[in-house]
Chain A
């Protein structure tokens, strides 16, 4: 189990770092930390790994405060983006190295290393040198090496960023499978929100050194804490609006009927609607029950294969929608239950 208690670290130049971070990762849980570059997610990892010490607050691993404990005594497994395999050692030697450091005898470490390689599907490459492996295979070796000594937690630092898109999906499944089998607390730092959504039990969104929200992937997507989270996780339409009543909000392009019961009339809010929730009304299709219907002009139309992403200009505002429909488009409907009102943010 990993715990961050009010952890803060600011770099000398005042730029970057983290402040007031409180986090908890349970045994067997995979927590993804996402955020734009420079948001502080790597700082979080460096502090946990022991490469840096927090300026205030404390970090706990398995119930022990690890302040002042050197990285090599923290018993964590780390996988870096660059794999960082030792090029002069064979795959088996790489995986057995942490066991050698722990004084495990030769026969046992060979056995355990081969088993770990088997778990990542690489037993056949045991005698090869890292340079002869593909990127994906190297990443598997790095994963096996980080897990072979049964560390207290696993830290993944952008582990898939250097891989091809097709390989990335395969590796996501492998990592989650191995992680679940090992039942190990895992922190996965990534800037790829899709990767986080598909792999994590919970996701922490970091922005400017602070954790904005920690939630399950579904909650994070459906109920973002604010516009920043909404914009970072998935695509989102965000408009500024004024609450008119408990069931209506006024935007630049018109009134939208929705649940505004948590707000008071006159409140300024960010109105969020996910693009896939917007329903295009093509041809003469104009059901009477369709709520929040708007007419506009198509300004952008992008064919993405399975879906088509379009921008509709309505009274000077742009509404982005996604649909599988390939017909002509000029009218849309925004279902009331897809509208979420978020606190207004200036930036």
Chain B
């Protein structure tokens, strides 16, 4: 068991470790490890206008995706959860899972067909990219929320709150939202991580000026190994920051929980 874990960890972490090593290597061709030490690759990435733009686009897309996910996902999950009809609940669950089940390539092609026409000529715009990311990530957030709403016994708490004379909005604000806040944060971490690393659809539908970081990163693979490594390490750090940010947010929420009487 221990050996399996060790071997699996090596298998998992070795490529990341090699990327890190490679990003500081001056040259790396046909050798096991790179030779020389340099920060130049990071400087190159930082100075490259297309990388800089893509980096900002990615942050913009992730932030907007998260906001839209909250605005759409929370009410949607709550509506599905509260639906009295079992058939409605099942249909809603299947519907939200569709984007996960359909290959991204198919989804991307659909976007190209619909939005490259003269009627809807929005292919290449950042907001269409955001929409696509929302379609891809929303099922994960809704799924997380629905599972936790079941697990937390929200319906019974709501019933009690109702008998204590709380109306719909009071229950939603006082009971439902605070109960699902950790669930929401962990869901958003997943949403951010997926959105940051998303390549397939972004590659198909982003315009030249709205390319996300992973799309531009692909170009780096055709250049120097060190540059590709450095650019990839930045993506990893970005993804880790999103995850860490989520965890920090959760901690903050817990700490700031005021005593309200």
Contacts and interface: CB of A to CB of B under 8 A. Distances in A.
Contact of B174 (A87, A97, A113): A97
Contact of B165 (A49, A51, A89, A101): A101
A109 B164 CA distance: 14
Interface string B243-260: 000000000000001011
Contacts of B105: none
A109 B166 CA distance: 16
Interface string A70-82: 1111111110101
Given A84-B153, A109-B261, A127-B259, A78 B165 contact: no
A89 B170 CA distance: 15
Interface residues of B, number: 23
A94 to B, nearest CB: 10
B16 to A, nearest CB: 37
Interface stretch (B22-30, B51-59, B89-97, B155-163): B155-163
A77 B261 contact: no
Contact of A82 (B156, B161, B181): B156
Contacts of B179: 86-88
B191 to A, nearest CB: 23
B67 interface: no
B85 to A, nearest CB: 12
B183 to A, nearest CB: 12
B259 A72 contact: no
Contacts of A89: 260
A233 interface: no
B52 to A, nearest CB: 42
A75 B166 CA distance: 11
A76 B259 contact: no
Interface string A309-328: 00000000000000000000
Contact of A101 (B152, B153, B164, B259): B164
Contacts of B161: 86, 97
A21 interface: no
Contact of A87 (B152, B170, B261): B152
Contact of B166 (A50, A82, A87, A101): A101
B160 A73 contact: no
B151 to A, nearest CB: 12
Contact of A145 (B159, B164, B165, B175): B164
A90 interface: yes
A79 to B, nearest CB: 9
Contacts of B121: none
Given A71-B162, A145-B160, 19 more contacts: A49-B159, A50-B163, A72-B163, A78-B159, A78-B163, A82-B153, A84-B156, A84-B160, A85-B157, A88-B257, A93-B259, A93-B260, A93-B261, A97-B166, A98-B165, A100-B260, A100-B261, A102-B165, A110-B261
